[in-house]
Chain A
Amino acid sequence: MKKYTTLLCLLLALVMVMACFTGCAKQPAQSDPAGTTEPAQTTDTAPEDSSTAEPAETRETVNIRFAQFGNNLDDLDGYANDPIKAAIEQAVGVTLEYDTGTDGFDDRMQTELFTGSAPDLFPTWGESDKIASWVQDGLVTNLGEIINAEPDRYPTLYKMMNSEEWKAYNKLYTGDETASYAIYSVAAFADPSFGGVPVYNQAILDEVNEGKVPATVDEFLTYCEAAGSAGYVGWWPRNDKLTNWNEIDATLALPQGTSITVPRGAGTGTILSGEAGTDSEYWTVSAVSEQSKAVVKQLAELYKNGGLDANIGVKGDFDDAYADFGNGTLGAVNFGFGYPGQFRDFFKSAWLAVHPDASIDDLAVGQALTSNGSYGKTYSTGTWINSHYFIPTSCAYPDRVLDLVEFLASNQGQDLLHNCVDGAFNTSVGSDYWSAIDGAYGYGDGRCKYVWFSYMFSGVEYYCDFENQSWWDAVSHPVDFSNSWATEEDAALVSKAKDTISGFVNEVVQPLPAYYNMVALPAEATDIINKLATITNEYLTQFIGGQLDIDASWSDYAAAYEAAGAAELETMINDAVATARTTYGG
């Protein structure tokens, strides 16, 4: 017994001594909070290093950590044997380390940036005040300075960064058109698309609507209610538990000349009067207007009559509602944001998975609805800033990171990322090539892009030809190769959606002048928008569910909007538009 006790005693003492050492050795280090400042200060000298131009072969191989949102690194074998990664590493003379995440990713990136340990190249979404504060705090590297010092080393980037459009973005974000702190990723669809088009279950269409796809708002409402009384649920708009009103808005409200969604800027939750591009243009917040009230009444009526599911706002979209569609109890759903590819994905995951012998004709892609003969208007410039990729000032070799970016922007790099089925790389590996990549990265859902770097220039993951086109032409007209290698079935699904949409898309999508890309709302607008979003979510949900009477409480809704600053927001939006028009409109 005594021996046992002594032994225990010794063990405990050992643990304590160990614990003590870990504690003591590390304790002093944490008491130096001033350390934060170091990375930011020291790195100001970094650009100078890059000016010592050495030939690429003699440059030391460095490790570059690249971060991208929403991927995974689970398949270590696939990652170690990744041929595209190896090709990039070889071409640039670096080793690549990938970093990614979904939950907590933004927080981690920002914390790492603030503490001087950010990845060498990492993305963020484009809030202009965030970028301005990072620049002001000296956290991110001025890429323009490095690139303009060595045009021969970075020919593609040099050309991109000295285009008028790129400079305009520089000016928007930092006030200085030569100071370029980020690689701007611009989104533009290769094909016309927009949200708000439902997909119908053909069997239910046949049963209650003589197989006819509704073309007007009235026909749509009639169909939904008819489906409701026939023992189905008429319509499931994608709505994230009634917190996202955009799909409902695009399907029902826009054709009736109003917008019920939260005003977030020109063209979202606001209605245009006057002519776009001229002094007469004016955006009115329409969420609490009389027309919106009428639309909300229609929705409440639908809810009452089984046109909408009784559990809408409680049930989730993907799991519960789409499973209902698969079971054949839903008449119509909004399936995505209007990418033709989303119809393919929806068909496969929500329908084909349940009905293995399904045919493409089981589902009908809907029409954009009309009201009094006119379509709803979706305003868009066709392009928007998606995200930005930064090099932190704590990175010791920004010039080498830019070597990587330069390679990826070249046609050779873009080809490797987006189209290497036909590239030289493919022929040396053989016809099994794609299945290997497929297995490694787990995207069998019809995408042929390399999952890393794919968002870096084009926010929709398409190929950009920077060598032969100007930056803006390349990013606003990206090339989508996915259908050139897709299976016959996948291609048929995508073209079915495309064919339907192309019949009316020109009527629906109204182009806005390019300066709308340069509309920057002040920081206070964000606060107002957040408040309005809470108000809209609460009131509209209760109007639809019948907890609030629309006629009695609509004025409360309007008053809440007023109190939260809807009028100020309207002014801010129109001022920002006017500023963009006078600055970039010419």
Chain B
Amino acid sequence: MKKKPAPLRRSMFMRLGFNFYDVAVTIFCVAFGLLCFYPLWYCLVASVMPYEEYVKGGLMLWFKGIDLQYYIQIFSTKVYTNSLLVSAVKTVLATALSVLVTSAMAYAVSKVHIRGMKLINALVVFNLFFAGGLIPQYMLYKSLHLTGNFWVMVLPGTLNISYFIIMRNYFSFSVSRELEDAAMIDGCNEVGIFFRIVMPLSRGMIAAVTLFIAVINWNDYYNYMMFIGNKTKLQPFAWVLHRMLTDKSLMNQVRNGAASLGFTLPPPMALRMATIICATLPIVIIYPFIQPYFTKGMTLGAVKE
């Protein structure tokens, strides 16, 4: 949009389009950004640091030579590559299903004036506080033939209560009744309103929620751990990562694999850092593609009508 000329009483700096306020904001944001960037940077530098340098410790501010041995070790361990695939499939399926079901329900329930929606809302929110526990859960999944089954990592979390609440409130606030009524007069029915007005209007929020739910699914391993447990081919990456961080047997497996590849026995911490980088990489790569959806005002056109 075109900038309006600044009123006269503003200062020189303001007319230049930059002032102390901006400087303070920028400094604050950049400082916090650096603070947040550093831990992952530390992991990255430590994970490619040649061994002699690594054991000296230090703050890992910059590379002192690059040695990709840990990554070679990790990717020569078959369990890693397979689990990446499992995680990708599981994350896509579970996220798509979850976002679809949760947002559809949230939209409908946001219309509290319609009979029954308040009751349904209360029924959903109640679940935020109570859960049955492991044994009844196991029996349920067993009777649904979900134990030991890939789908146990996809189906149970479909309705996400927290994001249901966030989206429901979002719909009830940002999609005004007037807008819908106007659309209704234009000849749209509820179906039309949902697909042609509400959904485009909410792209930013849906993108954000999709990212959140995708990250939850990417990081989840509990259902694998409890309800599958021993199916190597179904291990999600988050589980492999968790084992790498806590379970000595996988660590030893990779370390000994390294020894057989002719590397010196790697220090566990450096190997963990490399694993972390591998786990974070997909999200870091995908993220910039999603970011524009929830940082730019995507709803400009729709609201201005």
Interface residues of A in 2-33 (CB under 8 A from B): 5, 8-9, 12, 15, 19, 22, 26, 29-30, 32-33
Q: A74 at interface (Cβ–Cβ under 8 A)?
A: yes
Q: A71 at interface (Cβ–Cβ under 8 A)?
A: yes
Q: Are B143 and A102 in contact (CB under 8 A)?
A: no
Q: Are B249 and A323 in contact (CB under 8 A)?
A: no
Closest A-chain residue to B268, C-beta based?
A319
Q: Are B265 and A70 in contact (CB under 8 A)?
A: no
Interface string of A353-383 (1 = CB under 8 A from B): 1101000000000000000000000000000
Interface residues of A in 26-57 (CB under 8 A from B): 26, 29-30, 32-33, 35-36
Chain A's nearest CB lies how many Å from the CB of B299?
Answer: 18
* C-alpha gap A442/B135 in the complex (Å): 34
Q: Are A319 and B269 in contact (CB under 8 A)?
A: yes
Q: Are B243 and A73 in contact (CB under 8 A)?
A: no
Closest B-chain residue to A102, C-beta based?
B247
Interface string of A330-362 (1 = CB under 8 A from B): 000000000000000000110011101000000
| Residue among A1, A103, A107, A327 having the largest count of chain B Cβ atoms under 10 Å | A103
Closest B-chain residue to A352, C-beta based?
B265
Chain A's nearest CB lies how many Å from the CB of B1?
Answer: 26
Interface string of B76-110 (1 = CB under 8 A from A): 01110000000000000000010011001000000
Q: B291 at interface (Cβ–Cβ under 8 A)?
A: no
A444 partner, pick from B55, B136, B246, B259, beta carbons under 8 A: B259
Chain B's nearest CB lies how many Å from the CB of A445?
Answer: 7
Q: What B residues does A117 contact at CB under 8 A?
A: 138, 142, 147
Q: Are B78 and A76 in contact (CB under 8 A)?
A: yes
A102 partner, pick from B77, B243, B257, beta carbons under 8 A: B243
* C-alpha gap A67/B230 in the complex (Å): 9
Q: Are B246 and A103 in contact (CB under 8 A)?
A: yes
Q: B60 at interface (Cβ–Cβ under 8 A)?
A: no
* C-alpha gap A72/B143 in the complex (Å): 28
B257 partner, pick from A15, A67, A442, beta carbons under 8 A: A442
Q: Are A318 and B268 in contact (CB under 8 A)?
A: yes
Q: Are B140 and A30 in contact (CB under 8 A)?
A: yes
Q: Are A108 and B78 in contact (CB under 8 A)?
A: no
Closest A-chain residue to B83, C-beta based?
A74
Q: Are B192 and A99 in contact (CB under 8 A)?
A: no
| Given A19-B101, A444-B256, CB of A74 within 8 Å of CB of B192 | no
A9 partner, pick from B195, B232, B233, B242, beta carbons under 8 A: B195
| Given A354-B55, A445-B256, CB of A74 within 8 Å of CB of B247 | no
Q: Are A15 and B97 in contact (CB under 8 A)?
A: yes
Q: A443 at interface (Cβ–Cβ under 8 A)?
A: yes
Q: A384 at interface (Cβ–Cβ under 8 A)?
A: no
Interface string of B215-253 (1 = CB under 8 A from A): 000000000011001101101000000110011011011
Interface string of A190-213 (1 = CB under 8 A from B): 000000000000000000000000
Q: B155 at interface (Cβ–Cβ under 8 A)?
A: yes
Q: B139 at interface (Cβ–Cβ under 8 A)?
A: yes
| Given A5-B192, A8-B195, A354-B55, CB of A74 within 8 Å of CB of B269 | no
Interface magnitude class on chain B: 35 or more
Q: B295 at interface (Cβ–Cβ under 8 A)?
A: no
| Given A71-B249, A100-B230, A101-B230, CB of A108 within 8 Å of CB of B144 | no
Q: What B residues does A115 contact at CB under 8 A?
A: 135, 138-139, 142
* C-alpha gap A35/B280 in the complex (Å): 43
* C-alpha gap A70/B250 in the complex (Å): 10
Q: What B residues does A323 contact at CB under 8 A?
A: 55, 267, 269
| Given A15-B97, A73-B230, A74-B253, CB of A104 within 8 Å of CB of B225 | yes
Q: What A residues does B134 contact at CB under 8 A?
A: 107, 111
Chain A's nearest CB lies how many Å from the CB of B265?
Answer: 4
* C-alpha gap A98/B100 in the complex (Å): 38
Q: What B residues does A105 contact at CB under 8 A?
A: 229
* C-alpha gap A435/B9 in the complex (Å): 83
Q: A522 at interface (Cβ–Cβ under 8 A)?
A: no
Q: B191 at interface (Cβ–Cβ under 8 A)?
A: yes
Q: Are B230 and A74 in contact (CB under 8 A)?
A: no
Q: Are A76 and B195 in contact (CB under 8 A)?
A: no
Q: B264 at interface (Cβ–Cβ under 8 A)?
A: yes
Q: What B residues does A83 contact at CB under 8 A?
A: none
* C-alpha gap A100/B155 in the complex (Å): 25
* C-alpha gap A32/B139 in the complex (Å): 9
Identify 16 new A-B residue pairs, CB closer than 8 A, beyond the known A103-B246, A356-B264: A5-B196, A8-B195, A9-B191, A19-B158, A29-B144, A33-B136, A33-B139, A72-B243, A74-B79, A104-B225, A108-B225, A114-B138, A115-B135, A319-B269, A323-B55, A353-B265
- For the complex of A and B, 10 pairs with smallest distance between CB atoms: A29-B143, A442-B253, A353-B265, A74-B79, A99-B230, A26-B144, A30-B140, A444-B256, A104-B225, A102-B247
Q: List 14 A-B contacts (CB under 8 A).
A: A9-B191, A9-B195, A15-B97, A19-B158, A26-B144, A29-B143, A30-B140, A74-B232, A98-B230, A111-B134, A111-B138, A115-B142, A353-B264, A354-B55
